[in-house]
């Protein structure tokens, strides 16, 4: 275990608010989005005479069910201790997330803006959504691309503190336009996307994507759900842009990656397919995903894969919930005075070795316990063992990670 290196050596340089705004306005998507948001604000403000104000779930001013302004946020404070091997990892503690969230609605229109002041600072969700058609939602702006059960679940609701190794292959948040529709036991989403508004130093692939996701739940009862999903992304890579896939050992406080393709030149496009399965039986949830990515063009064309299998158990008897319109599990709702207690276990893997690309292979097993004090407060303890065989430098190594989180969300 090594300590002593300065934290700011691993954090990307801070960008001022003015610089963020300048970067945002360089994209036509973002200019249109800001114009729409400014157009919405006067319409909402014009109803101020009939305003009601509540603090039940964030600070909300409401005129009726479809006209409101709500200010909320989330704080995730993490502490991490590492027992490392070849790659040196620093013990650390920091605000994993410190996010301000503004939501507004006016009849069929919704607006959302999330800005994070935590470890990964910058814009997150920043979009306008139209819902005037029955069972259809059209979203324009920076949003979570319709890919991966894990990615589409809110960070507040994840059973473990971090998403799996396989999330390195998913597009996560991108700026673009999408449309979603659903039925009694299915959902479908598709969209076109460019790059992300804020660089989250995960997947470096500048270009344009077409992404679609379809989910089907042949069993969808109050206490029983069987969910299947498939998603696909085709992304054309900008000329002269490099591709880089890498992953931290399921701890964002870690200052190093054990697996990393480094920059790959000459890639024309990538195609990624994701498969999902999830089963819910009252207070037990099982889920898993497998992803396969193919890089085409150039001498460094390669195929990568990743996946995970996960089990969760609400010991105190609360049931797991499911959103049919989004095809994802939703938040745990404690029913007792002492909150809800949850145990979780996950195995994950990521393979970035293929052909001339030697990015490494990693597996990780994580055990977690979470206490949901109420719908807004949660504490979590995660212990994991990782094995990189080999790591990005061709050396086998293993180690362990102990993490604690305090979480508050509105």
**pLDDT tens digits, one per residue of 122-179:** 999 999 999 999 999 999 999 999 999 999 999 999 999 999 999 999 999 999 999 9
Banded pLDDT at 36 (limits 50, 70, 90) = low
pTM score, two decimals? 0.88
Distance separating alpha carbons of residues 390 and 3, to the nearest angstrom: 24
The pLDDT of residue 24 is 52
Please report the beta strands in 145-297, taking only residues with DSSP state E, as ranges in sequence order.
Answer: 173-182, 186-193, 204-205, 207-220, 224-237, 243-244, 246-247, 259-260, 269-281, 284-296
For residues 65-71, give the mean pLDDT.
91
pLDDT band at 311 (very low <50, low <70, confident <90, very high): very high
Q: What residues contact 148, with CB distance under 8 A and at least 6 apart? A: 167, 170, 231, 274, 276, 289, 291
pLDDT at 2 over 90: no
User: Domains in the chain, start-ordered, CATH in brackets?
Assistant: 7-13+74-94+135-409 (2.40.160.10)
pLDDT at 372: 98
| pLDDT at residue number 4 | 42
Mean pLDDT of 260-285: 98
Q: What pLDDT, on the 0 to 100 scale, is given for residue 12?
A: 47
Specify the pLDDT at position 51.
81
- 308-320 average pLDDT score: 98
pLDDT higher than 60, residue 347: yes
Cα–Cα distance for residue pair 385/364, rounded to 1 Å: 6
Q: Is the pLDDT of residue 7 over 50?
A: no
CA distance 307 to 290: 4
Q: What is the mean pLDDT of residues 271-285?
A: 99
- Across the chain, mean pLDDT equals 91
Residue 1 has pLDDT above 80, yes or no: no
* pLDDT tens-digit series, residues 210-266: 999 999 999 999 999 999 999 999 999 999 899 999 999 999 999 999 999 999 999
Q: What pLDDT, on the 0 to 100 scale, is given for residue 379?
A: 99
Residue 93 CA: distances (Å) to CA of 80, 367, 370, 372, 406: 6, 20, 19, 21, 11
pLDDT of 26 reads: 58
* Residue 94 near residue 80, CB atoms below 8 Å: no
pLDDT for 6 beyond 60: no
Q: How confident is the model over 342-349, as a mean pLDDT? A: 99
Instruction: Answer yes or no: is pLDDT of 53 > 90.
Output: no
Segment 13-30 shows an average pLDDT of: 54
Report the pLDDT value the prediction gives residue 33, as an integer from 0 to 100.
55
Question: If you average pLDDT over residues 192-215, what whole number do you get?
Answer: 90
pLDDT value at 5 more than 80: no
Interaxial angle between packed helices 17-25 and 28-45, expressed in degrees from 0 to 180 and rounded to the nearest 10:
110
Mean pLDDT over residues 113-119, rounded? 95
Q: Strand 67-83 relative to strand 92-106: parallel, antiparallel, unpaired?
A: antiparallel
């Amino acid at each position: 275990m090594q300590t002593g290196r300065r934290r700011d050596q691993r954090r990307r340089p801070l960008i001022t608010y003015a610089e963020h705004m300048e970067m945002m306005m360089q994209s036509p998507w973002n200019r249109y989005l800001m114009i729409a948001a400014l157009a919405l604000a006067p319409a909402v403000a014009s109803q101020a005479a009939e305003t009601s104000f509540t603090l039940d779930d964030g600070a909300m001013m409401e005129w009726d069910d479809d006209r409101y302004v709500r200010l909320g946020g989330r704080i995730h404070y993490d502490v991490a201790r590492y027992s490392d091997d070849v790659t040196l990892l620093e013990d650390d503690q920091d605000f994993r997330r410190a996010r301000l969230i503004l939501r507004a609605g006016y009849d069929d229109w919704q607006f959302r803006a999330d800005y994070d002041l935590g470890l990964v600072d910058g814009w997150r969700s920043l979009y306008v959504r139209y819902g005037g058609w029955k069972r259809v939602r059209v979203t324009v702006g920076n949003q979570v691309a319709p890919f991966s059960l894990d990615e589409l679940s809110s960070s507040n609701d994840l059973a473990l503190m971090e998403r799996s190794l396989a999330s390195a292959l998913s597009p996560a948040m991108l700026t673009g336009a999408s449309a979603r529709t659903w039925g009694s036991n299915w959902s479908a989403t598709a969209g076109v996307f460019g790059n992300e508004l804020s660089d989250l130093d995960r997947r470096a692939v500048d270009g344009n994507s077409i992404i679609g996701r379809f989910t089907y739940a042949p069993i969808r009862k109050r206490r029983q759900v069987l969910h299947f999903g498939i998603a696909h992304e085709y992304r054309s890579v900008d000329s002269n842009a490099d591709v880089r896939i890498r992953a931290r050992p399921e701890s964002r406080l870690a200052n190093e990656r054990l697996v990393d393709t480094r920059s790959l030149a000459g890639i024309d496009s990538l195609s990624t397919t994701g498969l999902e399965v999830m089963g819910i039986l009252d207070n037990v949830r099982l889920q898993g995903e497998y992803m396969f990515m193919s890089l085409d063009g150039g001498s460094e064309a390669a195929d990568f894969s990743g996946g995970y299998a996960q089990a969760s158990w609400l010991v105190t008897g609360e049931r797991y919930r499911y959103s049919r319109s989004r095809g994802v599990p939703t938040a745990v709702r404690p029913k007792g005075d002492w909150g809800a207690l949850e145990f979780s276990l996950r195995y994950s893997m990521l393979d970035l070795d293929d052909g001339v690309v030697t990015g490494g292979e990693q597996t990780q097993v994580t055990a977690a316990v979470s206490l949901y004090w109420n719908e807004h407060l949660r504490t979590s303890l995660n212990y994991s063992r990782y094995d990189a065989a080999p790591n990005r430098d061709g050396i086998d190594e293993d180690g362990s990670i102990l993490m604690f989180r305090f979480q508050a969300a509105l």
